Structure 1
Amino acid sequence: MLLASVNLNKRLGASGARANFTTWLREHGVKIVLAQEPFKPADRTPPALGGFACAGGDGHLAIWVSEDLAPPVVSSPAPWVQRVELEWLAILQVHLDAYASASRAAQLAGLAAMATAEKGRPLLVCGDFNLAPRPADGLFGEATSTFTTEAERQALQQLTRAASLVDTTADEPPVFTFERIFNGKPSRFRCDLALLSDHLTATTTVTVDASVRNSPAAFTDHSALLIDLPLTLQAAEPDDVLFTLSELTGDGPAAAPAKRDYQPHKTAMSRQGPSPASRAVTEHLTGPLSVRSVLDHGCGRGADVAHYRSAGLDAEGFDPHDDFGWPRPERTGFDLVTSMFVLNVLPDPWQRIQALKDAASFARPGGHVVVVTRSPEEIAKAAADGGWSVHHDGFWSSQAKGTFQRGITPGEITALARQAGLQPAVGTPALPLPGVCHAVLTKPME
């Protein structure tokens, strides 16, 4: 799903700029528009964009969504920031103070607080920051500009650290997004930014497009950011249809459930014996880690729980699907919590982080969490062989059943785990699990 973030310099009120903008959106296939300074605040009413509906905002910050998509939830925590919920992703669109350094530093501190309040939810913070993140990102003539203060840069670094965000356009040399002549000298800044949760960088592409400000069809004085996100958005509800024929008859082509009725429990295997992953745990991990108690988090029908018990461990299982018969344990403080092939069936990063948080809640401080997932190579082959359709950052393995699959690398497991308060375990043996991915994590001491 392609999203555009751009400062429009209050030009949408002009029909020529609006026509050029609309053409650019159509040619690039943009579905979501995040606009800073889209029109003069005195105009009040957001101008119409062909093929898009305004989902909220004003002359400071506004969002337009393709008419074929359901509108997102939009709010305005402050005049300079707009919060947007796109499925599992939270977006903070910003336009920081263009004139006062102290005000920008305070706004960045406010953003850090907002990002922390998201509690690990995948996050995109984008817009016009009106600052140079690094000295090289702001030049006046050939010298470093003094417009951005060190206090602002420290506040920006605090924001990125607090929410594990990556500055996705921090190239060397810098790609400037705003240029003008000031007092006879060129003033160049990389001030339009896209800060993204670190675990999303492998599946998200961010491109700087300067044609919107320097081509014959220019419509603003800032470069645009084109952000290609691993998101599948809900379609808009038809406003002239009360129900569909398939809803009346129960027939019709297999399709993804209209309300995203995910059913990950339908991926659970009926095993006659323990999984290779659970055998690897007892053969290579429980001894070196002095494990006595184990919880299999997302245990399915419980074959691995039986294996852990047969190995002399105090083992319990939990699975949120009631029919499997493994209710939530009343106890916590397990030496080891295992999560076997759970993350790869959850349809978005936020659900994966929440699952890891829940798994971690059962481990004792200093205890361990082992996560095993299907590999990207295995899922890519299965998707090609089975004709699976793309959904978010993975695939519907069965649209009719509502089952999802995604291959997850050890690096991604670790990045997600950090959002859940877990850290990579140091000095623990790797498990001999060819063809799948895994990570051994630890819960910090309190």
Structure 2
Amino acid sequence: MLLASINLNRRLGAVGARSNLAAWLREHGVKAVLAQEPFKPADRRPPSLAGFTFAGGDGHLAVWTSEDIAPPAVSSPAPWVQRIELEWLLVLQVHLDAYAGAARAAQLAELTAMTAAEDGRPLLLCGDFNLAPRPEDGLFGAETSTFTTNAERRMLRQLMLGAGLVDTTAETAPAFTFERVFSGKPSRFRCDLALLSDHLAATATVTPDATVRTGERAFTDHSALLIDLPVTGRAADPGDVLFALSELTGKDSAAPARREYQPHKTAMSRQAPSPASRAVTEHLTGPLRVRSVLDHGCGRGADIAHYRSTGLYAEGFDPHEAFGWPRPERTGFDLITSMFVLNVLPDPWQRIQVLKDAASFARPGGHIVVVTRSPEEIAKAAADAGWAAHHDGFWSSRSRGTFQRGIDSGEIMALARRAGLAPAAGAPVLPLPGVCHAVLTKPRT
């Protein structure tokens, strides 16, 4: 899904600006408009935008979505920030204070608390931050501007470090998004930013577009950010979830997912243990001194019999009731196995939640081994079978509701960090050709 984040400088009420914006949106195929200062706050009704539906907001921050997708849930925790539930991705659209560095630093501190409360959910923070992230991102004349304070930059770094965000438009040579002349000197800033969860950076593209402020059909004085994300917009049914914490534990969850996904249909019927489970018992359980195992997302449970045959205490869990492996009452397992589960879940948020849930069964200091299909295998299967793209992967069968994404070891590690897990130092590498895996550990504290 292509998003556009733009400071419209209150110009959307003008017919000419609105017409130029609509033409630009059509030209680029934008599906959602995240606008800062879109119209005068005193206006009672948001201006209409051809081909788009107003999803929520006001003259400070507002969202429009293409008419062919369902509008997301939109709320305003504060006048300067908007919370947008874009399928599995949480978007925080911001317009920080334009005048006082102390106010911006305080707002960044609030953002840090907001992102921490999201408990690892994939994030996009975008909008007009009204600051230069680095000294070279703000110039007054030929000199570095003093507009942004060191305190702001420290708070921005804390926000990004704590939430695991990357500055997607940071380049060696800054692409300034705002330029004006003050006191006879040009003032140039890269202040319109898109901060994205680091594990999404490889599957998203962010492109500044200065033509909206400098071209013949300009309609504002800020560059736009075109943000292409691995999100497939579709009609929402908020009562349904897939393999999220609400289904796993009975607790409420904000994670959006739908029953059209049926990952249990990817479960294989095996008469013998999987090569992955054999690798675990041959190479992992001994060195890690494992005595108890939980196969999390066990499907029909063929691997559990194998673990038991080697003398391990083993149980299984699968949320698909027909498989007959209900949620165990016991916790404190030495080892949790997650075999080919993450790659059938249709978005990163659900994968993070499943890792969190798997880890809840492990003892402190225990281990989690995750095995996934490789990106190369999935790419070949998708090309051979003509699978349709969906989110960051493919429908392997749209009619059956089955999804696949190839996930390499680096991505497993990135998702695991969001789930509070760490790489297991010194753990053996499993000889599993053609698939990817990671051995993780649950912190003792």
Cα separation, 1, equivalents of 2:327 and 2:235: 35
Shift in Å, 1:235: 4.2
Shift in Å, 1:353: 0.5
Q: Which runs of 5+ in 2 are unaligned?
A: 238-256
Cα separation, 2, equivalents of 1:4 and 1:442: 39
2:338 equivalent in structure 1 = 339
1:253 equivalent in structure 2 = none
Query: RMSD over aligned Cα, in angstroms?
Result: 1.3
Cα separation, 1, equivalents of 2:303 and 2:182: 69
1:153 equivalent in structure 2 = 153
The normalised TM-score by structure 2 is 0.94
1:216 equivalent in structure 2 = 216
Alignment of 1:137-286 (within 5 A): 137-235=137-235, 260-286=259-285
Cα separation, 2, equivalents of 1:426 and 1:143: 47
Letter in 1 for 2:91: I
Cα separation, 2, equivalents of 1:84 and 1:37: 17
1:244 equivalent in structure 2 = none
1:40 equivalent in structure 2 = 40
Structure 1 residue 418 corresponds to structure 2 residue 417 = yes
Cα separation, 1, equivalents of 2:393 and 2:258: 18
Cα separation, 2, equivalents of 1:445 and 1:394: 34
Letter in 1 for 2:23: T
1:241 equivalent in structure 2 = none
Shift in Å, 1:221: 0.6
1:254 equivalent in structure 2 = none
1:64-87 residue CA offsets vs partner (Å, 9 max, x unmatched): 111111111000111000111011
1:383 equivalent in structure 2 = 382
Q: Secondary structure at 2:42's aligned position in 1?
A: helix
2:369 equivalent in structure 1 = 370
Shift in Å, 1:259: 5.3
1:220-274 residue CA offsets vs partner (Å, 9 max, x unmatched): 110000000111111499xxxxxxxxxxxxxxxxxxxx95521111100001111
The normalised TM-score by structure 1 is 0.94
Cα separation, 2, equivalents of 1:329 and 1:41: 54
Cα separation, 1, equivalents of 2:197 and 2:34: 18
Q: Secondary structure at 1:43's aligned position in 2?
A: coil
* Residues 67 and 236, structure 1, Cα contact 8 Å, conserved in 2: no
Cα separation, 2, equivalents of 1:64 and 1:6: 12
Q: Secondary structure at 1:33's aligned position in 2?
A: strand
2:251 equivalent in structure 1 = none
Cα separation, 2, equivalents of 1:11 and 1:300: 55
Shift in Å, 1:324: 1.0
Letter in 2 for 1:293: S
* CA 24–168 in structure 1, closer or farther in 2 if over 3 Å, else same: same
Letter in 2 for 1:217: R
Structure 1 residue 444 corresponds to structure 2 residue 443 = yes
1:102-126 residue CA offsets vs partner (Å, 9 max, x unmatched): 1101111111111111111111110
1:407 equivalent in structure 2 = 406
Letter in 2 for 1:266: K
1:91 equivalent in structure 2 = 91
* CA 199–324 in structure 1, closer or farther in 2 if over 3 Å, else same: same
Cα separation, 1, equivalents of 2:46 and 2:108: 27
2:79 equivalent in structure 1 = 79
* Residues 414 and 439, structure 1, Cα contact 8 Å, conserved in 2: yes
Cα separation, 2, equivalents of 1:152 and 1:337: 42
1:255 equivalent in structure 2 = none
* Residues 32 and 66, structure 1, Cα contact 8 Å, conserved in 2: yes
Q: Secondary structure at 2:159's aligned position in 1?
A: helix
Q: Secondary structure at 1:42's aligned position in 2?
A: coil
Q: Secondary structure at 2:147's aligned position in 1?
A: coil
* Residues 68 and 236, structure 1, Cα contact 8 Å, conserved in 2: no
1:326-379 residue CA offsets vs partner (Å, 9 max, x unmatched): 111111111111100000001111110000000000111111110000011111
What is the percent sequence identity of the aligned residues? 80
Cα separation, 1, equivalents of 2:143 and 2:430: 53
2:70 equivalent in structure 1 = 70
Shift in Å, 1:44: 2.5
Cα separation, 1, equivalents of 2:179 and 2:418: 37
Letter in 1 for 2:427: T
2:391 equivalent in structure 1 = 392
* Residues 44 and 59, structure 1, Cα contact 8 Å, conserved in 2: no
Cα separation, 2, equivalents of 1:296 and 1:236: 32
Cα separation, 2, equivalents of 1:288 and 1:142: 61
2:350 equivalent in structure 1 = 351
Q: Which runs of 5+ in 1 are unaligned?
A: 238-257
Shift in Å, 1:43: 2.0
Which aligned segments of 4 or more residues in structure 1 are displaced greater than 4 angstroms? Answer: none
Structure 1 residue 114 corresponds to structure 2 residue 143 = no
Cα separation, 1, equivalents of 2:263 and 2:392: 16
Letter in 2 for 1:441: L
Letter in 2 for 1:37: E
Cα separation, 1, equivalents of 2:151 and 2:123: 24
Cα separation, 1, equivalents of 2:299 and 2:19: 55
Letter in 2 for 1:286: T
Cα separation, 2, equivalents of 1:146 and 1:124: 28
Shift in Å, 1:173: 1.2
Cα separation, 2, equivalents of 1:157 and 1:294: 40
1:242 equivalent in structure 2 = none
Cα separation, 1, equivalents of 2:301 and 2:233: 35
* Residues 96 and 128, structure 1, Cα contact 8 Å, conserved in 2: yes
1:135 equivalent in structure 2 = 135
